[in-house]
Structure 1
Amino acid sequence: MELIILGTSSTKPTRKRNHSAYFLTYKNEGILFDCGEGTQRQMMQAGIKPNKITKIFISHWHGDHMLGLPGLLQTMAVNEYTKSLKIYGPPGSKNKYKKMLDAFESSYKIEAKIHDIKEGKVLETDDYYIEAYSLTHRTKCYGYRFVEKDKRQINMSKLKKLGVTEGPIVGKIQEGKTITVKGKKIKPEQVSKLVKGRIFAYVADTRPCKNCEKLARNADLLLCESTYSSEHADKAREYKHLTAQEAAQIAANANVKKLILTHYSARYKNEHELEQDARTVFDNSFGAKDFAKFKILKS
């Protein structure tokens, strides 16, 4: 499981920073969170094939978070994308998506299913689920929480000593059920251990709110907007964004393991000022750069 940063700028891109886009790899999945202008070129630079995308989650429809969609979708269609693409976004996304496609002509089409999300669980598979919660911005904006499901790691050598081989009984242990072998009860914890799933959270454009911490709770990696330093807190309040210190406070309150800052105002020439600002509150804070990669490891 790895997060690849494709863009770290806010409203205006800079020579070194592209608009918001973040690519999460998990098993055979490629999940794109936001798709600012220039995202497909950033993907090429990062060595990510556009057709690796399986799902796209849009936090909100401000241009710096979605203007890259038309070009990316066209390229995927040209590349003969064969999967059914799923795109998730705030209420009204279906209508906005249709208007976006109506704005330009292309002989290339891609099959995409658009989901207008509601708060709570928006997607679930055998391995993980994704939740969405509304944020406090100038338009409808949502953050996302990727939760890998806990799994039981079975000690097969212990099982074999007890006379159990592959079969339905192993499946019951995997489900956390007690089994009976030769009249003797065996509890799951005797022959297995529960491996906690990993959590990735993305807090997009917002002011501090309860849902920020709800999204970030116990995350192994929190990706959080930090448009301004605390020196420009007045700007953060005016435009409904976070300062680096406010992002760090969310991480501290939510028991986050690692905080990654992003979505910087163009006024900051590098990420170090924001990183140092955040570390006055939460030491394990890091300012992201375009093309940075962060592994999300099991505990």
Structure 2
Amino acid sequence: MYLEFNGEGILFDCGEGIQRQFKIAGIAPTKIRRICITHWHGDHVLGLPGLLLTLGACGYTGVLHLYGPSGSKEYLGNMMSGFAEKISIDVEVHEIAQGMIFENDLYMLSCAPLEHSIECFGFSFIEKDRRRIIVPFIRKLGIPDGPLLGKLQRGIDVVWEGKNITVDEATRVVHGKKVVYIGDTLFCNSAVGLSLDADLLITEATLSDTIEEKAENYKHMTAKQAAMLANHANAKKLIITHFSQRYKTMEVLEEEAQTVFANTQCAYDFLKIKI
């Protein structure tokens, strides 16, 4: 799953065929600045070698940050050791634990452990609240574009023509969006906590509830359980993915989830969602 925010790309997992998908979608891989790996099963990471080598060939600049479970440095090193060509870009690997893993002025990335057959994490992207200028109010006062408006947007009161202009009267708060990506897991409290109040929840739903026992044995969720997760977390929209190959079409999983959480949609290649 690829998320783009403010011109910066964040990739969640990196399965086979990732470069083909980027090419068809018309997205430059060089936009990627962060890669979040849920766990080191092959279907979630086998696209990494080709992607990293291609970025080097494209003259990628800056640091590529990779976040993953304990052992990620070793796993990546072992994976790349099978190639004569070495990584030529600056990759910084962060082995994560529960909590915030990155923050800047615009957004935060957090993670939480899930319950799978190996160490696995889910990730949340949280856009920070921001202030937007109330244009009619500002025009009425005659405040010009410039530093004063910048201060108001940063939450700082200003003085204009001897009058104190407060942030509360000159701006309004625009609440940031929250996107959560849940990798392979059983239904668990940790996934619910990470997903609380998500505007968009993307989660695995490998099997139908008719074979719930099989899902539990392989430590995956059913479509119904994914919908229950969305309900418990008070999410606004649910996208289910990571479907078993036994299903020729995904309608049965989508319909199962919709009986519990109506605003559910099955993922498909090149699905785009703007929030």
1:170 and 2:149 correspond: yes
Q: Contact conserved, 2:53 with 2:86, CA < 8 A, in 1?
A: no
Q: Contact conserved, 1:133 with 1:144, CA < 8 A, in 2?
A: yes
2:37 is matched with: 58
Equivalent residue for 2:100, pick from 100, 106, 121:
121
1:148 is matched with: 127
Q: Counterparts of 1:228 and 1:76 in 2: how far apart (Å)? A: 35
1:9 is matched with: none
Q: Counterparts of 2:240 and 2:138 in 1: how far apart (Å)? A: 45
1:75 is matched with: 54
**Mapping of 1:194-205 within 5 angstroms?**
194-205=173-184
Q: Counterparts of 1:183 and 1:176 in 2: how far apart (Å)? A: 19
The AA in structure 2 aligned to 1:214 is G
The AA in structure 2 aligned to 1:206 is T
1:89 and 2:62 correspond: no
Answer with 281-290 or 182-191: which moved more: 182-191
1:191 is matched with: 170
Q: Counterparts of 1:209 and 1:274 in 2: how far apart (Å)? A: 20
Q: Contact conserved, 1:143 with 1:203, CA < 8 A, in 2?
A: yes
The AA in structure 2 aligned to 1:138 is S
Structure 1's 50 and 179: CA in aligned 2 closer, same or farther, altered over 3 A? closer
Q: Contact conserved, 1:271 with 1:288, CA < 8 A, in 2?
A: no
Equivalent residue for 2:209, pick from 212, 224, 230:
230
Structure 1's 90 and 154: CA in aligned 2 closer, same or farther, altered over 3 A? same
Q: Counterparts of 1:139 and 1:240 in 2: how far apart (Å)? A: 10
Q: How much has 1:60 moved relative to structure 2?
A: 0.4
Equivalent residue for 2:223, pick from 244, 265, 268:
244
Equivalent residue for 1:103, pick from 82, 105, 109:
82
Q: How much has 1:161 moved relative to structure 2?
A: 2.7
Number of paired residues? Answer: 275
SS at match of 1:25: strand
The AA in structure 2 aligned to 1:147 is I
Equivalent residue for 1:42, pick from 21, 35, 38:
21
**Mapping of 1:271-282 within 5 angstroms?**
271-282=250-261
SS at match of 1:64: helix
C-alpha distance after superposition, 1:109-133 (max 9, x if no partner):
2221111112111011221111011
SS at match of 1:170: helix
TM-score, length of structure 2 as denominator length = 0.94
> Considering only aligned residues, what root-mean-square deviation do their CA atoms show, in Å?
1.7
SS at match of 2:126: strand
1:135 and 2:88 correspond: no
Q: How much has 1:291 moved relative to structure 2?
A: 1.6
SS at match of 2:239: strand
Higher relative contact order (CA 8 A, sep 6+): 1
TM-score, length of structure 1 as denominator length = 0.87
Q: Contact conserved, 1:78 with 1:108, CA < 8 A, in 2?
A: no
Q: Counterparts of 2:3 and 2:156 in 1: how far apart (Å)? A: 33
SS at match of 1:48: coil
Q: Counterparts of 2:164 and 2:86 in 1: how far apart (Å)? A: 64
Q: Contact conserved, 1:131 with 1:145, CA < 8 A, in 2?
A: yes
Answer with 62-71 or 163-172: which moved more: 163-172
Q: Contact conserved, 2:15 with 2:45, CA < 8 A, in 1?
A: yes
Answer with 196-205 or 40-49: which moved more: 40-49
SS at match of 2:13: strand
Q: How much has 1:173 moved relative to structure 2?
A: 2.5
Q: How much has 1:185 moved relative to structure 2?
A: 4.3
Q: Contact conserved, 1:271 with 1:289, CA < 8 A, in 2?
A: no
SS at match of 2:76: helix
Structure 1, unaligned runs of 5 or more: 1-21
The AA in structure 2 aligned to 1:235 is K
Structure 2, unaligned runs of 5 or more: none
Q: Contact conserved, 2:101 with 2:109, CA < 8 A, in 1?
A: yes
The AA in structure 2 aligned to 1:249 is M
The AA in structure 1 aligned to 2:106 is D
